[in-house]
């Protein structure tokens, strides 16, 4: 299995303060990888480095085998979809215009953009009659689905997601998370998702990367992490959802 993303001894510092220690990380093509850890762990920094939104202080980032430092940012990001925590939709644009913004910038014909918009609304399980509404007229869950559709508009091979479900209520969050996993499989994506919810990461991802204080402490499958880990920070983080699951099981037996 080839690597879609490689971080080769990458670090990042601002004003001499390290926010990401020297890190080497590989994400195989087609894998769904979740980054977990507390605030300040370096998760979003790592995500932005992959997308070329910030440049590393040292080391290099490879996407599909090429050093992104040698590629223009807009060219790089055509093949990478990015979903923000608060969706980042343009409030003065309709749903259709938001979804079609990247294809429009790439010079797609109007008919192709319209067809792609309808296709994506179907993919993210939104009615097509929402296309002419503005983001303010949608629910939080609908706005986040539009954000996912916009990220997929130019048919990227890589999808990056920064706390995509954080502002949603639990029921909507679970449904949307399941739909994102379905899209990952159906479209053959390589997905990297930042989340504070360890249980969500264990349920959704093929691999979980645990971070703390700008360092990667573990990268393993959910099954391997649940079986135990020698690092106490990793073990404590994984133990929390395990305890919740055990308590729920006890309640169900009572």
Q: Which of 123, 155, 187 is the last residue of a domain?
A: 155
Residue 29: its pLDDT value, please? Answer: 96
Residue 214 lies in a domain: yes
* CB neighbour class for 248 (10 Å; exposed up to 12, middle 13-18, buried from 19): exposed
Could you tell me if 136 and 174 lie in one domain? no
Which residue intervals of 51-161 are DSSP H helices? 73-78, 95-99, 101-105, 110-123, 140-152
Could you tell me if 72 and 175 lie in one domain? yes
Q: Which of 128, 155, 182 is the last residue of a domain?
A: 155
Residue 19 lies in a domain: no
What band does 169 get if pLDDT is binned at 50, 70 and 90? Answer: confident
Residue 87: its pLDDT value, please? Answer: 64
- Please state, as a whole number, how many other Cβ atoms lie within 10 Å of the Cβ of residue 242: 14
- Dihedral sign for Cα atoms in the order 96, 102, 104, 109: negative
Could you tell me if 138 and 168 lie in one domain? no
Residue 23 lies in a domain: no
Range 9-35 average pLDDT: 94
Residue 116: its pLDDT value, please? Answer: 94
pTM of the model: 0.91
Q: How many domains is the chain built from?
A: 2
Could you tell me if 176 and 215 lie in one domain? yes
Q: Does the structure show a pLDDT above 90 at 163?
A: no
* CB neighbour class for 103 (10 Å; exposed up to 12, middle 13-18, buried from 19): buried
Q: Whole domain around residue 249: which residue ranges?
A: 28-79+159-254
**Burial profile 5-34: b = 16 or more Cβ within 10 angstroms, e = fewer:** bbbbebbbeeeeeebbebbebbbeebbbbb
Q: Which of 121, 136, 155 is the last residue of a domain?
A: 155
CATH number of the structural domain spanning residue 58: 3.40.50.300
What band does 240 get if pLDDT is binned at 50, 70 and 90? Answer: confident
Cα three-residue angle 209-212-213, rounded to 5 degrees = 140
Could you tell me if 164 and 57 lie in one domain? yes
What tens digit of pLDDT does each residue of 26-52 get?
999 999 999 999 888 999 999 999 998
Could you tell me if 120 and 179 lie in one domain? no
Could you tell me if 249 and 123 lie in one domain? no
| Phi, psi angle pair for 181, to nearest 5° | -65, -40
Could you tell me if 186 and 204 lie in one domain? yes
Q: Which of 1-5, 69-73, 201-205 is the least confident region?
A: 69-73
Could you tell me if 108 and 132 lie in one domain? yes
Residue 123 lies in a domain: yes
Residue 48 lies in a domain: yes
Residue 20 lies in a domain: no
Residue 166: its pLDDT value, please? Answer: 73
What tens digit of pLDDT does each residue of 122-147 get?
999 999 999 999 999 999 889 989 99
- Please state, as a whole number, how many other Cβ atoms lie within 10 Å of the Cβ of residue 245: 13
How does DSSP classify residue 129?
G
Distance set, CA 18 to CA 10, 23, 214, 216, 225 (Å): 11, 12, 8, 14, 27
Q: Does the structure show a pLDDT above 70 at 222?
A: yes
Residue 11 lies in a domain: no
Could you tell me if 150 and 206 lie in one domain? no
Residue 85 lies in a domain: no
Judge contact between 50 and 66, C-beta under 8 A.
no
């Amino acid at each position: 299995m080839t690597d879609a993303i490689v971080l080769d001894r990458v670090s990042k510092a601002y004003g001499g303060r390290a926010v990401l220690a020297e890190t080497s990380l590989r994400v195989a093509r087609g894998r769904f990888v979740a980054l977990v850890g507390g605030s300040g762990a370096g998760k979003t920094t790592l995500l932005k480095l992959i997308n070329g939104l910030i440049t590393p202080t040292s080391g290099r980032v490879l996407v599909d085998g090429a050093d992104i430092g040698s590629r223009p940012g807009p060219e790089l990001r055509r093949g990478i979809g990015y979903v923000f925590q608060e969706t980042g939709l343009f409030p003065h644009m309709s749903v259709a215009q938001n979804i079609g913004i990247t294809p429009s910038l790439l010079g797609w014909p109007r008919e192709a953009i319209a067809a792609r918009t309808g296709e994506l609304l179907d993919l993210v399980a939104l009615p097509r009659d929402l296309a002419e509404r503005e983001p303010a007229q949608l629910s939080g869950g609908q706005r986040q689905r539009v954000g996912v559709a916009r990220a997929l508009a130019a048919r990227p091979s890589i999808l990056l997601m920064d706390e995509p479900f954080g502002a949603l209520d639990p029921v909507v969050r679970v449904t949307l998370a399941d739909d994102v996993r379905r899209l990952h499989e159906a479209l053959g994506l390589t997905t990297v998702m930042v989340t504070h919810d360890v249980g969500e990461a264990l349920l959704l991802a093929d691999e979980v990367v645990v971070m703390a204080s700008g360092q990667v402490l573990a990268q393993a499958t959910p099954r391997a992490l649940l079986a135990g880990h020698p690092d106490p920070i990793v073990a404590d983080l994984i133990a929390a959802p395990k305890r919740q699951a055990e308590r729920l099981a006890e309640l169900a037996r009572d």
